[in-house]
Structure 1
Amino acid sequence: MLGMLFNEKECKELDYVLRKELDEMLLDLSDQRLDQNIRHAIANRYKTVFRMYARFAPQKELSKYAWGGRYSQSKH
């Protein structure tokens, strides 16, 4: 395990960066044009980033990014 200390400004920046990354990944996961393997990789990355965000996000904010863990699969 790795520990890090951040000041208030850095915490706000990390919060912003993680939220934007989660938003982008949710958008990508909803894109039916992406290949199944790419969507799977994004889903795995989403889980990791979400766990990072969950360590310090308020419950109200966290619920906005709760994702069922399933991405709709394209039927080709």
Structure 2
Amino acid sequence: MLGFLISNVEQKEMEYLIKRELEELLMDMEDSRIDTVVKKSIKERYQTIFNLYRRVASQQECLKYIPKRTYNQ
């Protein structure tokens, strides 16, 4: 296990950067023009980044970034 010490300001900056990345990935997952193979890769990346976000954000903030379920995925 690795440790990571950051200040509160650095934590807020990380939250901001991760949020922007999660928003971009969510938009890409909803884009119908993107191929299913690419979407699978996007979903894997999203899961990794979301797990990182869970370490620095509150539970309420994390709920905002849970992707919507669709039946055609």
TM-score of the pair, normalised by structure 2? 0.88
Distance 1:20 1:71, change over 3 A: farther
Number of corresponding residues: 73
Q: Which residue of 1 aligns with 2:66?
A: 66
Q: Which residue of 2 aligns with 1:43?
A: 43
Contact 1:18 1:49 in 2 (8 A): yes
| Partner secondary structure for residue 33 of structure 2 | coil
Structure with greater proportional helix content = 2
Amino acid across the alignment from 1:60: Q
Q: Which residue of 2 aligns with 1:57?
A: 57
Report percent identity of matched pairs: 41
Question: Over the residues paired in the alignment, what is the CA RMSD in angstroms?
Answer: 1.8
Offset, 1:68: 5.3
Contact 1:22 1:50 in 2 (8 A): yes
Offset, 1:67: 2.2
TM-score of the pair, normalised by structure 1? 0.85
Gaps of 5+ in 1: none
| Partner secondary structure for residue 5 of structure 1 | coil
